[in-house]
Amino acid sequence: MCFDFVVLCFAMLLAFAVRFDPNSLEHQFRILSEGIWVLIAVQMLALLISGLYRSVLRHAGSELLVLLLRSVLLGAGLFALLDLMLEEYRIPRSIIVMSAAFSFLGLLSTRLMIRWVVRLHVVEPQQRENLQRVVIYGAGSAGLQLYDSLRQEGRYQLAAFVDDNPKLQGGMVRGISIISFTALQALHAKIPLDWVLLALPGVKHEERKNILQQIRLLKVGVRVLPTADQLMRGTADASQLQEVDIADLLGRDEIVPDEKLLHQDIEGQTILVTGAGGSIGSEMCREILRDSPKLLVLLELNEFSLYHIERAFRNLSSVPIVPCLGSIQDTALLKNILHEHQINTVYHAAAYKHVPLVEENPLEGLRNNALGTKALVEKCIEAEVEAFVLISTDKAVRPTNVMGASKRIAEMIVQDAARRFPERRIGIVRFGNVLDSSGSVVPLFREQIKKRMPITVTHPEITRYFMSIGEAARLVIQAGAMSRNGEVFLLDMGQPVKIRDLALQMIELSGLVPEKDIPLQYTGLRPGEKLYEELLIDPAKSQPTKHPRIFSSEEPLPESEVLQKEIQLLSEAISKRDLNSALASMKRLVPEYKPDNGQ
């Protein structure tokens, strides 16, 4: 307030110096002295009334300009009113206008100077040393919003904006230079950067992949603003910097879903999702709730998972949700659920999926994945369920492990049901690894990088297909809507990814150096694990569908009598805990099963 009082006095002096001849200034001051002090007092009162002194200067932005302008105009207006009513305070109107203008400029200048001093010079030396040197990749509106956010935090020093648009390069925004990627390389070589912050939320995955591949050359950490898709789906906050989305490293953009196929089996229908607490099952439920079902029934064996997702879904949607705790092997429970809720569509995601665990517990894997599917399909047919979709896996193709073989048997059971009951819409959807699912390597790699532990890769040449969990769920729903005769639908997973390359990219984009900061440790293929995954049993038999990312395939299937007899033998062997007989039956059902073929 003392500073402001001095500024207002000086502004009044300037106004008089402009208005009157220098020789008559002293005379004019004596004549108008009462009005001068009243005008200054009114201006000080206006500053108090407007709340100017509640503003925290170090965090002040453009709102300070508006606040000051409003305060000065308020003071000048109040005095002009007094000037009209009381003749003894009469001051020339030009003095009022000029003093207001000079006051505004003076008050603003002092505040900007104080803010500059506080931000740059009243900072502990240790804090200055700990500032992280960053650049923002993207000089658009998202980049500017990110810059404002970083400036408020005070923990970052922005070296430059980077943009691929030649028209912007060489310009400046908010006093910061906009440079090209080539200039960024030179800047980083001169004074190393801590982070590159990617502010390109609207850019497609393919373009983001290319940018990230360039940034890898710098050996600097990367953080990104969420993509437009993440913002629309509500999985991220607009102001939240996060790790690089693995979907960006894959570089494959999702095709816009067919809304008709998405709604066909869901809108206004009663839906059952088995394994609803798992990665795939829970994402299926999220997609289903967006398509306005009449009722959603969640069947889950794990109590905590069921509790967690039910609570999350009730906050997400107003659709009625029924949580059911139990197993697909419980036929009485299945019958009760299907009849009581009059289920129209079933998405069967419940399965034991972790290859090493099922390899160690083959009887339970076969019981749950194969016999559980049989029990569910039979009860669905009894209850006259309109549509049934089995969610299968690429590991069912020429399986080298019990999990894959058990899922292939489940596929055969569903195919046989579709053959015996052609009036029902029964189908199978097969796809590979899902990013960030419970069995994916991606969360494991993230945890190992965070803890600076060695990255564990089973084999230098191991490859896998990957797909985002949301895209997989939407494609499952669309494929299920096209089911007619027990087809096996195959989701286009793009190109297979070498796990070693994925690990190296994740390390480098975390700002670390592979083998120096974090080594790669090869653990060897686990029991039953393949080096390469396949999606088709016979590629020549795959056919395109109306969706560009979904193909159908006719898989070989034994006669119903033969299949039913082998399933019965398998069931008896499992009941007796006769492992040798169960595995023998499994091999007869799945002759392409080759446990010793790890390549």
Contact 399, 586 (CB under 8 A): no
Token pair belonging to 572: 């008896």
Distance CA 334, CA 325 (A): 11
Which residue has 């919003």 as its token pair? Answer: 145
Domains of the chain (ranges, CATH numbers): 2-121 (no CATH), 127-250 (3.40.50.720), 259-589 (3.40.50.720)
Position 404 scores a pLDDT of 93
| pLDDT at residue 409, as a whole number | 97
Helices (H), 50-124: 63-85, 93-121
Winning range, highest mean pLDDT, from 232-241, 318-327, 481-490: 318-327
Number of residues written out for the chain: 599
What residue type is 105 in one-letter code? L
Q: Is there a contact between 330 and 322 (Cβ–Cβ < 8 Å)?
A: no
What is residue 276's predicted lDDT score, i.e. its pLDDT? Answer: 95
Give the Cα separation of 302 and 37 in Å (integer). Answer: 78
Residues 147-188 have pLDDT tens digits of 887 776 767 888 999 999 999 999 998 888 999 999 999 999
Contacts of 52 (CB under 8 A, 6+ apart): 67, 68, 71
DSSP state letters, 527-560: TT--SS--S-S-GGGEEE-SSTTEEEE------H
Q: What is the mean pLDDT of residues 132-153?
A: 84
Strand 156-162: give its sheet, edge to edge.
Answer: 172-173, 176-179, 156-162, 132-137, 195-198, 221-224
Residue closest to 462 by CA, chosen among 433, 491, 419 = 433
Q: What share of the chain is helix, strand, coil (3-state, %, to 5)?
A: 50, 15, 35
**Would you say residue 334 has pLDDT above 90?**
yes
DSSP, residue by residue, 236-264: S-TT--BPPPHHHHHT-PPPPP-HHHHHH
Q: Which band of pLDDT confidence, cut at 50, 70 and 90, is reported for residue 470?
A: confident
The answer to whether 367 and 329 have CB atoms below 8 angstroms apart is yes
Q: Is 567 helix (H, G, I), strand (E, B) or coil?
A: helix
Q: What is the pLDDT of residue 597?
A: 45
Q: Output the six-digit token pair for 490.
A: 């195959």
* Residue reference for tokens 């008559």: 24
* Alpha-carbon span 333 to 174, nearest angstrom: 64
Burial environment of residue 331 by CB neighbours within 10 A (0 to 12, 13 to 18, 19 or more):
middle
The residue with tokens 């001068």 is: 36
Higher pLDDT, 161 or 450: 161
The most confident of 125-134, 163-172, 487-496, by mean pLDDT: 163-172
Q: What percent of the chain has pLDDT above 70?
A: 84
For residues 267 and 206, the model is more confident at 267
Q: Which of 240 and 313 is assigned the larger pLDDT?
A: 313
What pLDDT, in 10s, does the model give residues 198-209?
888 778 777 888
Which class for 346: exposed (0-12), middle (13-18), buried (19 or more C-beta within 10 A)? buried
Residue 431 pairs in a beta bridge with: 393
pLDDT, position 550: 86
The mean pLDDT of the chain is: 84
Tokens found for residue 105: 């400029």
Q: How far apart are CA 483 and CA 476, in angstroms?
A: 11
Around Cβ 380, how many Cβ atoms within 10 Å?
24
**Over the stretch 6-28, which tens digit does the pLDDT of each residue have?**
988 888 888 878 777 777 666 66
pLDDT of residue 559: 93
pLDDT band at 52, cuts 50/70/90?
A: confident
Tell the residue number behind the tokens 């564990």, with chain if given. 456
> DSSP alpha helices (H): ranges in 173-271?
181-190, 205-216, 228-233, 246-250, 259-264
Mean pLDDT of 382-406: 93
What pLDDT is stored for residue 598 in this prediction? 43
Provide the pLDDT for residue 124. Answer: 45
pLDDT tens for 506-554 read: 888 787 878 888 999 998 887 777 777 766 555 666 788 888 888 888 7
What does the pLDDT read at residue 129?
A: 59
pLDDT at 503: 87
Strand partners, 489: 429, 552
Give the number of other CB atoms < 10 A from CB of residue 513: 10
Looking at residue 308, its pLDDT comes to: 93
Angstrom distance (rounded) from CA 367 to CA 582: 10
> Which amino acid is located at 522 in the chain?
Y
Secondary structure letter of residue 459 according to DSSP:
-
CA–CA dist 507, 517 (Å, integer): 9
* CA dist., res. 378 & res. 360, Å (int): 29
Q: What is the largest CA-CA distance in the chain?
A: 120
**597 has which bridge partners?**
none
Compare 296 and 459 and report the one with higher pLDDT.
296
At residue 306, the pLDDT reads 96
Does the pLDDT at position 346 exceed 90? yes
Q: What's residue 240's pLDDT?
A: 58
- pLDDT at residue 230 is higher than 60: no
10 Å CB burial of residue 532 (0-12, 13-18, 19+) is: exposed
User: Quick one: pLDDT at residue 160?
Assistant: 93
Tokens representing residue 338 in the block: 């299907």
